[in-house]
Amino acid sequence: MAGGRVTVIDIAKAAGVSKSTVSLVLQGSPLVNEGTRVKVSAAMRELGYVYNRGAATLRQTGAKSKIIGVVVNDLTNSFFAELAVGVDMVVQSAGFVQFLSNTSESIDRQREVIASMREHGISGLIVSPARATEAADFKPLVAAGIPVVVAVRSLPGAKVSSIVSDNHEGTAAAVRHLASLGHRRISFLGGFPNTAVFAERLTGYRDAVVEVGLGFDDELIVSSAPSRAGGADAIARTMAMGNPPTAAVCFNDAVAFGVCDGLRARGMEPGRDFAVVGFDDVIEAQTAVPALTTISVDPQGMGRRAAQLLLKQINAGKVEAENVTAAVRLVVRESCGAAQRKSREELA
């Protein structure tokens, strides 16, 4: 059975050539005669040869391991699963293979995972960082010349490439849409204020709100945990104030769902009595009742672009940080009160 594995020497012997020649055909060199090439290939098939990439990588100076690491903070969230699929697509067709790990927002786990990946000689890393990640955490990587692309969540001072969705434009579009529906008091609900994503989405809101001629009112900003429960909490606090808003753009879809819950608890129907817009366009957004109007970012496309960015850097050898922002688009469904109730046709 598992007798000694068959090596390049075995097949050299079988084909009556030297191991060097075998190596040459392995890498498709034009130096080798057509006749010997087929002879060698036949022997490989015959003996069931499997290439030992580890040995090859060891010999080659440098780190051309054909492995790229992917680290996401929550694979359970379909947004990140899609992201990983996008990465896998392009990485795979470039002849690389993907090391994927999930950190569950644990920074310790993230450190372990990245260390392990380094030991395995990854030639690049795509990471959607766990919450408390600091820019310095990637210092050793870039010092070792390993390209890093940070995705989804931007990392303030890090000297690495990044790809994030256009948070600013997203919330701005949401505000413009709500204003066009006649809303004059629009809230911004949910999210932890000390994160980069929050800051970006908030300034998008703020800029748009003055752009359309509504004044900016501090009172209308109500932060909370970026979760369903957080949303319910935020809307409760919001509606308790003197001059409550009639619409809200939410930090993300989870918050938006919570806001809907909270509205119903006060006897108000989202979409009819109050307009709600989310952010992310998670799958549930289309099937929920009412279907959620939200800002859609294409996670799979984002994964693909992240991978392309990384591969470019790997091939270039030169590591030069590049920051790209992915376009987003407003998807109008029911929760903003604008549309026709026919969300279901989107599903096919």
Partner DNA sequence: TGACATAATTGGAACGTTCCAATTAATTGC
Partner DNA sequence: GCAATTAATTGGAACGTTCCAATTATGTCA
Burial readout 121-143 (b: 16 or more C-beta within 10 A, e: otherwise): bbbbbbbbbbeebeeebbeebbe
> Which positions ≥6 away from 166 have C-beta within 8 Å?
325, 326, 327, 328
- Cβ of residue 205: shortest distance to its own copies, in angstroms? 27
Alpha helix (H) residue ranges in the chain: 8-15, 19-26, 34-47, 53-59, 78-93, 107-119, 139-143, 167-180, 196-211, 228-239, 253-265, 284-287, 299-316
- Cβ of residue 248: shortest distance to DNA, in angstroms? 55
- Which residue, 241 or 283, is less far from its own copies as judged by CB? 283
Question: Which residues are paired to 161 by β-bridges?
Answer: 149
Query: With CB cut-offs between 5 and 8 Å by kind, which of its own copies, DNA, none does residue 312 bind?
Result: none
Beta strands 247-250 and 275-280 are parallel
- The binder of its own copies chosen from 18, 46, 54, 273 (CB under 8 A): 54
Q: Does 81 bind its own copies (CB under 8 A)?
A: yes
Query: What is the distance between the alpha carbons of residues 227 and 207, in angstroms, rounded to a whole number?
Result: 25
Helix axes 8-15, 34-47, angle to 10 degrees: 120
Q: Does 216 bind DNA (CB under 7 A)?
A: no
- Cβ of residue 193: shortest distance to its own copies, in angstroms? 24
- What are the two backbone dihedrals, phi and then psi, of residue 282, each rounded to the nearest 5 degrees? -70, 165
Q: Does 145 bind its own copies (CB under 8 A)?
A: yes
Q: Does 139 bind its own copies (CB under 8 A)?
A: no
Q: Are the CB atoms for 69 and 273 separated by under 8 Å?
A: no
Query: With CB cut-offs between 5 and 8 Å by kind, which of DNA, its own copies, none does residue 31 bind?
Result: DNA
Q: Are the CB atoms for 53 and 123 separated by under 8 Å?
A: no
Instruction: Kindly tell me the sign of the dihedral angle through the C-alpha atoms of 229, 235, 236, 237.
Output: positive
Candidate segments 58-66, 99-107, 195-203, 328-336, binder of DNA by CB under 7 A? 58-66
Q: Does 287 bind its own copies (CB under 8 A)?
A: yes
- Cβ of residue 230: shortest distance to its own copies, in angstroms? 12
Q: Does 47 bind DNA (CB under 7 A)?
A: no
User: Residue 121 is encoded by which pair of tokens?
Assistant: 């000689």
Query: With CB cut-offs between 5 and 8 Å by kind, which of its own copies, DNA, none does residue 193 bind?
Result: none
Q: Are the CB atoms for 255 and 189 separated by under 8 Å?
A: yes
Sketch the per residue contact string, 106 through 135, with its own copies: x for CB under 8 A, - otherwise: ---x--xx-xxxxxxx--------------
- The binder of DNA chosen from 3, 59, 194, 317 (CB under 7 A): 59
Candidate segments 45-53, 99-107, 209-217, 250-258, binder of DNA by CB under 7 A? 45-53
Which of the residues 204 through 243 are near its own copies (CB under 8 A)?
228-229
- Which residue, 33 or 116, is less far from its own copies as judged by CB? 116
Query: What is the distance between the alpha carbons of residues 87 and 199, in angstroms, rounded to a whole number?
Result: 27
Query: With CB cut-offs between 5 and 8 Å by kind, which of its own copies, DNA, none does residue 67 bind?
Result: its own copies
Name the residues that contact DNA, by CB under 7 A. Answer: 4-5, 7-9, 17-21, 23-24, 26-27, 31-33, 35-36, 49, 51-52, 55-56, 58-61
